[in-house]
Amino acid sequence: MKLIVGLGNPGTKHAGTRHNVGFRVIDELARRCQADLSQEKFHAWFARATVAEQEVILLKPTTFMNRSGPAVLAAGRFYRLELGDLLVISDDLALPLGKLRLRGQGGAGGHNGLQDIIDRLGSEVFARLRIGIDPPIGDPVGWVLSRFSEAEESVAAAACCRAADAVECWIERGTECAMNRYNVEPGR
């Protein structure tokens, strides 16, 4: 069993913001496998599903971004999962819009949601998939909470679909294969 966590902020006020691309990837995975994410469990919207012929838990924490750790910790403990069974999906303002970066472990890179998960788990040894939202224009907080322009939205939507493909590859073939396939620019 794998635990796939998309980071974002709950509520319609935050829907469609740059900070919520992790939620969008979970929504795309749920759509693909016809999973119902309306159940609340572990301080998160939750669904059990089959992705790439494996049982997975899809999770969107209902706490705000900076407090994502309790949901991840609770679900992981409940299902007695190893850190190698966890993949966290987040935005990254250091990456160009639409670029994906998958890693098997590493630091938070200034991302407060990832830092909270690392702090709660007591480890950096879990996979994470970052989706580029472009460097900020002005205030970083205002930037991550802003919505994509019309031109940017098509790039963001394609990146979220490609990220869902990367998650499926990670589940089916592992971190190294998914990194080799999805850490490159599309079309290369």
Active site positions, annotated? 19
Q: Look up residue 96 and give its DSSP letter.
A: P
Distance of alpha carbon 122 from alpha carbon 156, whole angstroms: 32
Burial (CB count <10 Å: 0-12, 13-18, 19+), residue 34: exposed
- Chain centre distance of CA 156: 13
State the helix-helix crossing angle for 175-182 and 150-173, rounded to 10 degrees.
150
Structure tokens at 119: 């702090």
Strands (E) across 23-182 are located at: 39-40, 44-51, 54-61, 86-92, 100-103, 127-132
Helices (H) then strands (E): counts for the chain:
6, 7
Distances (CA, A) of 161 to 19, 143, 154, 171: 16, 22, 11, 16
